[in-house]
A = this chain, B = another copy of it.
Amino acid sequence: MIYERITLIGLGLIASSIIRAAERGGLAGEIRGYDLSDEARATAREIGLGDVICDSLEEAVTDADLVILAVPVGAMGGLAERIGPHLKPGAVLSDVGSVKGSVVASVGPHVPEGVHFIPAHPLAGTEHSGPRAGFAELFDNRWCLIVPAGETDPQALAGLRAFWEGMGAHVDEMDPEHHDLVLAVTSHTPHLIAYTMVGVADDLRRVTDSEVIKYSAAGFRDFTRIAASDPTMWRDVFLSNKQATLEILQRFTEELFRLQRAIRQDDGDLLHDYFTRTRAIRRNIIEAGQDTDAPDFGRGAVRK
């Protein structure tokens, strides 16, 4: 057991997975949950999520040793303002937001003296949402980035690290600005691009929706999976990580125009060299253990 009592606020995919994983690892004496939505609270009770699902924020956070904010990034500041006065001295306040600079800026001012604010970001997810979407294995072998906001108590930091490791994750530390740039490259911009491509397919009148859907096996299907992620969460991500996302988008567009020009000018050598280089990057990811080279291309359980 790492914490006597932990509280999750916002009972979506990530919070419900944290609860399952913390239960699996025996990491907390008591697990409380709260969600603004009546429906989410009812569902959480129905599926037996945690020990207590509370009907008020105050009840949820009072006496908690660890409080994790698991709401869209744009809602973090207002939430912190409401719970701040009820946090126990010595408690750790953390979050799971995909952007860290804006969370530090919006939550930080509401953290009372004596409470340890330590932002974090587990790099794990699926395209599903809500309390039913969680599962204990979500963080196994995934990275959780802990992003201390300034001076941080070493013991509080060690506790949060142990908690994430107890849920199966590998932990790294990073400063907020660098985190937001890295994520703009590895996650935010790819998501925006996938959303865009799926939107283009939908707009195109000369290719019917049913054709797009029927023939999506090669390439497009993976984009639709990414583009099915939670709309509110992703709206907030882009608005909160505006600067880094726009910078990476700018570079992406430049590169895309280079390849587009190569196609227009029949420059096969440029294309072949480019595709050979990107193939090597894939190999490195497999070697780093972040994916498998099983030839499924997302096929999985498609047999039916």
Contacts and interface: CB of A to CB of B under 8 A. Distances in A.
Interface of A: 74, 98, 123-128, 133, 135, 137, 140-143, 145, 172, 181-183, 185-204, 206-207, 209-229, 231-232, 234-236, 238-239, 242, 245-246, 248-249, 251-253, 255-256, 259-260, 263-264, 266, 268, 271-272, 274-279, 281-285, 288-298, 300-304
A219 B186 contact: yes
Given A74-B268, A125-B297, A291-B302, 12 more contacts: A135-B295, A143-B214, A192-B256, A201-B281, A209-B284, A213-B284, A216-B285, A224-B285, A227-B282, A246-B263, A246-B264, A289-B302
Nearest to A125: B218
A256 B249 CA distance: 9
Number of copies: 2
A197 B207 contact: no
A267 to B, nearest CB: 9
Given A187-B219, A218-B186, A126 B296 contact: yes
A295 B193 contact: no
Query: Which of A74, A245, A259 has the most C-beta atoms of chain B within 10 angstroms of its own C-beta?
Result: A259
B296 A217 contact: no
27 contacts: A127-B282, A128-B293, A181-B206, A182-B207, A182-B215, A187-B215, A187-B218, A189-B200, A190-B219, A190-B222, A192-B256, A193-B256, A195-B259, A195-B275, A198-B278, A198-B282, A209-B284, A210-B288, A213-B281, A216-B290, A224-B281, A227-B279, A231-B272, A231-B279, A238-B263, A289-B302, A291-B302
